[in-house]
Amino acid sequence: MSIEREFEGKTVTDATIEACKELGITRDELNFEVIREGSSGVLGIGSRNAIIKVRDVESGNNDIQKNELDAVPMDTEKIEKIFRHIVDHFVEESEIEVEVQNRNILLKMKSSADLGFLIGKKGDMIKNLEFLLSRIASKQQSQSVLVGIDINSYRERKNDQLKEKVQSMVEKVVSINRPLSLNPMNSYERRISYLIIEQNNEVTYTTKEYGHLKKITIFPKKLDTNLS
């Protein structure tokens, strides 16, 4: 079944990056229309996000075709070489480890240098690098490939913080016997949250669209999930 979805970002490029990461596709595979251009306003006043509408988003992909694609051997040498070339412009010494799972590539980098500039504000620089490398890898493999980057365990720390936050929320829901909502999340963050929530048999959850993200609401199982 084909559906349409809208995604937001500070710029059209940011919106397309979020769409590709959420849908697990490359920029070349993205069929979208610009609904609104982003604007920084005047001195921050009147700023607004860009909005794109993505068409022909397929739900229920063919499992046989997906399994055939996943079976293609993953060549990570070129991606690692490009990433190292970028890093070497800023850092003299670093270690890069590559992990592969299905169509996902994780580049784990460690260095004694301060790499905050490579992470960027709220991880923006990492997101841009991931998007660029994902496009290159997808073109090389002739299939959709997602590349993730973990710099000095930044991703691991963020994951740990998210797990603690979700666990705390689950415990609070059980304690007060009332539903509570987490902040809107992307698909990667939601997958982590689902794993934590599902470990507790006293709660359940629902997920609703929230712009280009989704919001998870956690409920005590004794309550009707249709209640707000």
Per the CB < 8 A criterion, the answer to whether 120 and 126 are in contact is yes
Do 94 and 161 reside in the same domain of the chain?
A: no
User: Considering only CA atoms, which of 137, 131, 82 is closest in space to residue 105?
Assistant: 137
Q: Which residue has the higher pLDDT, 56 or 159?
A: 159
pLDDT in tens, 24-58: 666 667 788 888 887 776 665 667 888 888 876 54
Q: CA 97, 99, 100: angle at the middle one, nearest 5?
A: 150
Distance CA 22, CA 127 (A): 12
What CATH number is given to the structural domain containing 123?
3.30.300.20
Q: Is pLDDT of 85 > 70? A: yes
The answer to the question of residue 228 being in a domain is no
CA distance 132 to 146: 10
- Single-letter residue type at 176: I
Among candidate residues 152, 179, 198, the one where a domain is terminated: 152
Summary mean pLDDT of the chain = 78
Residue 82 sits in the same domain as residue 147: yes
Q: Which two tokens stand for residue 58?
A: 């397929």
173, 175, 176, 181: CA torsion to nearest 10: -10
Report field, pTM of the whole predicted structure over 0.85: no
- What domain range includes position 141? 67-152
Dump pLDDT digits (tens) for 66-77: 444 444 566 788
**Tokens read off for 51:** 């909005």
Q: Which residue has the higher pLDDT, 64 or 101?
A: 101
Report pLDDT digits (tens) over 175-221. 999 999 999 887 778 888 988 998 999 998 888 887 767 889 999 98
User: What are the tokens at 90?
Assistant: 């800023």
Q: How many domains does the chain have?
A: 3
Query: Is residue 206 domain-resident?
Result: yes
